Chains A and B, each alone.
Chain A
Amino acid sequence: MKKYFPALFFLVLLASCAPTRYVRPLEKQTHAVSASFGGPVIGFAGAVLPIPFTTVGYGYGIGHQLTGYANVHTTSLVFGNVQTDIGICTRLWSSANERLQLTGNAGLNFVANFRQGDPRLWPQLDLNASYTLGKGRSFIYAGAGSWFEFSKTRVHNEPQPAQVLLYPQLGCQLVRKHFSYTFELKGLQLGTPNKPNAVDYKGIGGNGAIGFYFGMAYRFGTAGATVTSPRNP
Chain B
Amino acid sequence: MRKFALFLLLLTGCARMDNALYNLGDKITEYKLDQYTGEQDFILDASYTIPDSLIHQFTLASQAPGESSATTIHAIYIGDISRIATDTVILYCHGNKWHMDFYWQRAKLLANTGSKNRFGVLMIDYRGFGLSEGNPTEEGMYADVDAAQRWLRDNGLTGNRLVVYGFSLGSAPACELTAHPRTLSPAKLLLEAPFASAAVMVADGSQLNMPGSYYTDLQIDNAEEIKTIQQPLLWIHGMNDNFLGIETHGEVVFRNHNGVYKEAHRIAGADHGEVPAKTGFQTYSNLILQFITRP
Contacts and interface: CB of A to CB of B under 8 A. Distances in A.
The interface size bin for chain A is 35 or more
Interface string A188-219: 01001001111100000000000000000000
B201 A14 contact: no
Given A2-B273, A78-B11, A78-B12, A195 B23 contact: no
B168 A4 contact: yes
29 contacts: A2-B39, A3-B23, A4-B243, A8-B20, A9-B20, A9-B215, A12-B214, A15-B207, A15-B208, A77-B12, A78-B12, A79-B13, A79-B16, A79-B17, A79-B215, A111-B214, A114-B13, A120-B211, A149-B207, A149-B208, A153-B209, A154-B203, A155-B203, A156-B200, A156-B223, A195-B245, A196-B242, A198-B244, A199-B204
A110 interface: no
A48 interface: no
Contact of B209 (A77, A151, A192): A151
Interface string A2-26: 1111111111111100000000000
B207 A165 contact: yes
A81 B197 CA distance: 20
Given A4-B97, A81-B214, A156-B223, A9 B201 contact: yes
B209 A160 contact: yes
Q: Which 5 pairs show the lowest CB-CB distances between chains A and B?
A: A80-B13, A196-B245, A8-B20, A12-B205, A118-B211
A156 B12 contact: no
B273 A1 contact: yes
A198 B201 contact: yes
Contact of A196 (B95, B214, B244): B244
B51 interface: no
Given A14-B208, A155-B200, 11 more contacts: A1-B273, A5-B243, A15-B208, A113-B213, A115-B213, A118-B214, A120-B208, A122-B208, A149-B208, A156-B224, A160-B208
B271 A1 contact: yes
B20 A79 contact: no
B244 to A, nearest CB: 7
B205 A1 contact: no
Contacts of B256: 156
B199 A155 contact: yes
Interface string B235-249: 000000111111010
| Residue picked from A2, A7, A115, A153, most chain B C-beta under 10 Å | A2
A120 B244 contact: no
Interface in A100-147: 111, 113-116, 118, 120, 122, 147
- Which has the most chain A C-beta neighbours within 10 Å: B223, B243, B246? B243
Interface string A56-91: 000000000000000000001111110000000000
Nearest to A160: B209
Interface string B129-164: 000000000000000000000000000000000000
Interface in A149-172: 149, 151, 153-156, 158, 160-162, 165
A198 B169 CA distance: 13
Contact of B210 (A4, A14, A158): A14
A84 to B, nearest CB: 14
A161 B207 CA distance: 7
B46 interface: no
A199 B244 contact: no
B175 to A, nearest CB: 14
A199 B96 contact: no
A147 B210 CA distance: 13
Nearest to A12: B205
Interface centre among A8, A11, A198 (most CB of B within 10 A): A198
B8 interface: yes
Indicate the member of A7, A78, A156 with the most B CB atoms within 10 Å. Answer: A156
Contacts of A78: 11-15
A154 B209 CA distance: 5
A118 B211 CA distance: 7
A2 B242 CA distance: 10
Contacts of B207: 13, 15, 149, 161-162, 165, 189, 192
Contacts of A165: 207-208
